[in-house]
Amino acid sequence: MNSALRKPLRVAIGGIWHETNAFAAGRTTIADFECFEGEQILKQFTGTRTPLGGFIDWSRRNSVELFPAFFASATPSATVCKEAYETLSARLVQSIKRLSPDLILLDLHGAMVVENCLDVESDLLVRLRGRIGRVPIGAVLDYHANISQTFVDLIDIVAGYETYPHTDHYDRGIEVAVLTFQTALGNMRPVRAYVQPPLMIPPQVQFTESLPMLKLVRRAAAMERIPGVLNVTLAAGFPYADVPQAGLSVIVTTNGNAPQAAALAAELGQQAWDMRSEFVSQALPPFEAVAKALRAREFPVVLVDSADNIGGGAPGDGTTLLRALLDADASGAVISIADPAALESIQQAGIGANVSVLVGGASDSLHGAPVQVNGTVRRICSGDFCYQGSYMTSRRVHAGLAAVVEARGVTVVIRERKVMPFDSEELRVLGIDPLACHIIVVKSAIAWRAAYGGMAREVIEVDAPGICSACLETLPFKQVRRPVAPLDSGVVWQARAPTIKPSQHSEDPHEI
């Protein structure tokens, strides 16, 4: 059909986003999700450096009709209950079906787990395909996505974050929008090759700006410059989801060249496997880490409590470092603990009061016992803020109330909700200047660098207990495929060129 007679393509945007830690206590329910539908999506995400923000900006710059469908997200946490997923997936699928789009752009995570479903993103695509047929679908995935062959077979265009800390959400949104649009127009014929070596890598060694991961990132970038290659997704994976497909994976998408896609995917997968002995984390016990930080001559020093990684689904109420800081009278240190019960007691006492309250260790027995905090309440206020730095710029964080207590020189922030330390506004909004702190404790693996990496004079990894430990061998895995490194020794693997299935979309879906 003559292009002048074509109607503008109808573009639906949405998604469901959650990073699930299978070892976390409790369940993630519908109440834990923030949900946006229709115009609410535009109000919430327009002008943000998010995948949805990228979809919106791209749509407004091109001759398409934009239809926001449904989007839901929750802070990384425990396994999602099946009732919540059934509700959320039904809302997404029904809203997209109602819009009758010509192409669909999704913001997904890739490591969501539901009680009765271990491959949620694939299940979601199956549900969508069952209602909308062979409409081209493009998706942005997190760098920690656990990708399955089923997902690759069902999607048309996929792009994973290329940075950790994640700073390219928006760029990947634009990329997926452009490639899916061109696919819908019939200007390209994407084919995807998928390879997954039997390898799980702890997040603590997934930093994309240093070796060993930087070597893989650079090779993936070089592959994307090869003629015919549309994009390369190198997903480091999220081991704590405890699903069969957990671990590093590679997807190479080319424009109709299946042998090229297969060869490049096998090459990058083999390179990752050959480097497996390099992905090892080094850390100090908590009391040694605190002592080393106190000996530092330049500040701030960042103590990394990655085992209680909030961005990885941990509870954020681990107390091992809190105890070590208090015992050392670590003046100038700041540490945040999620504990709504302790916060309620502090609220009752009021600003200026001297309090004695048990803090932390409430969610489980894996992150340390509650610690008695004796100190003075300096501030009680809302902890809500907007990301100002490189991580999802302008996205608002609903952090709830927080109290600032000074105890033995240590500033203890007691929060109503756990807050991922991905932006220094988390402290500034409470009247705390991170540049004036001697020690900053971050409950994160790598993503904290978006907030404090530029100001840290020294970084000390801490070997604390918790469900996001870098020592994967210590965790009670039940679902991961076996054998897999590093859980099993003597694993042998050789990359083979993968079989490639044709794209799901129709030959000419834009003909109306």
Instruction: Kindly state whether residue 493 falls inside one of the protein's structural domains.
Output: no
| 265 has pLDDT over 80 | yes
| 266 has pLDDT over 70 | yes
pLDDT of residue 502: 60
| 236: CATH | 3.40.50.2300
Residues 57 and 206 in one domain: yes
- Mean pLDDT (whole number) for 271-292: 97
Q: What is the mean pLDDT of the chain?
A: 95
pLDDT of residue 259: 96
Domain end among 224, 251, 278: 278
- Mean pLDDT (whole number) for 338-344: 98
pLDDT of residue 226: 98
Residues 264 and 310 in one domain: no
CA 503 – CA 132 distance, rounded (Å): 15
- The most distant pair of C-alpha atoms in the chain lies apart, rounded to whole Å, by 77
| 503 has pLDDT over 80 | no
Residues 298 and 338 in one domain: yes
Q: Is the dihedral of CA 93, 99, 102, 107 positive or negative?
A: negative
pLDDT of residue 463: 96
CB-based burial of residue 351 (10 Å sphere; 0-12 exposed, 13-18 middle, 19+ buried)? middle
| 510 has pLDDT over 50 | no
Instruction: Kindly state whether residue 373 falls inside one of the protein's structural domains.
Output: yes
CA-to-CA dists, residue 218 to 201, 213, 221, 226, 291, angstroms: 18, 9, 5, 13, 37
Instruction: Kindly state whether residue 494 falls inside one of the protein's structural domains.
Output: no
pLDDT of residue 512: 24
CA 246 – CA 159 distance, rounded (Å): 18
Q: Which domain holds residue 371?
A: 286-469
Q: Which of 303, 302, 299, 403 is nearest to 345 (CA)?
A: 403
Q: What is the pTM of this model?
A: 0.93
- Mean pLDDT (whole number) for 422-448: 97
Residues 218 and 326 in one domain: no
Type of residue found at 440:
I
pLDDT > 70: percent of the chain = 96
Residues 259 and 328 in one domain: no
Strand 157-160 and strand 137-141: pairing? parallel
pLDDT of residue 3: 47
CA-to-CA dists, residue 442 to 306, 412, 438, angstroms: 8, 13, 13
Instruction: Kindly state whether residue 109 falls inside one of the protein's structural domains.
Output: yes
Instruction: Kindly state whether residue 141 falls inside one of the protein's structural domains.
Output: yes
Instruction: Kindly state whether residue 410 falls inside one of the protein's structural domains.
Output: yes
CA 219 – CA 32 distance, rounded (Å): 39
CA 358, chain centre distance (Å): 31
CA 349 – CA 354 distance, rounded (Å): 8
Residues 223 and 335 in one domain: no
> Looking at 185-199, 347-361, 376-390, 495-509, which range is the least confident one?
495-509
Instruction: Kindly state whether residue 481 falls inside one of the protein's structural domains.
Output: no
Residue 174 CB coordination number (10 Å): 19
Residues 274 and 311 in one domain: no
pLDDT of residue 501: 65
Domain end among 243, 278, 313: 278
- Mean pLDDT (whole number) for 252-270: 98
Residues 221 and 307 in one domain: no
Strand 385-386 and strand 396-397: pairing? antiparallel
Residues 233 and 332 in one domain: no
| 62 has pLDDT over 70 | yes
pLDDT of residue 505: 54
DSSP state letters, 57-99: HHHHHTTEEEEEEEEEE--SBSPBPHHHHHHHHHHHHHHHHHH
Residues 264 and 309 in one domain: no
pLDDT of residue 392: 85
Instruction: Kindly state whether residue 16 falls inside one of the protein's structural domains.
Output: yes
Residues 251 and 301 in one domain: no
CA 11, chain centre distance (Å): 25
Domain count of the fold of the chain: 2
Residue 475 has φ and ψ, to the nearest 5°, of -95, 150
| 68 has pLDDT over 70 | yes
pLDDT of residue 156: 98
Domain end among 469, 488, 506: 469
Strand 229-235 and strand 249-255: pairing? antiparallel
pLDDT single digits (tens) 152-209: 999 999 999 999 999 999 999 999 999 999 999 999 999 999 999 999 999 999 999 9
Residues 295 and 405 in one domain: yes
pLDDT band at 498 (very low <50, low <70, confident <90, very high): confident
pLDDT single digits (tens) 88-144: 999 999 999 999 999 999 999 999 999 999 999 999 999 999 999 999 999 999 999
pLDDT > 90: percent of the chain = 94
Residue 304 CB coordination number (10 Å): 27
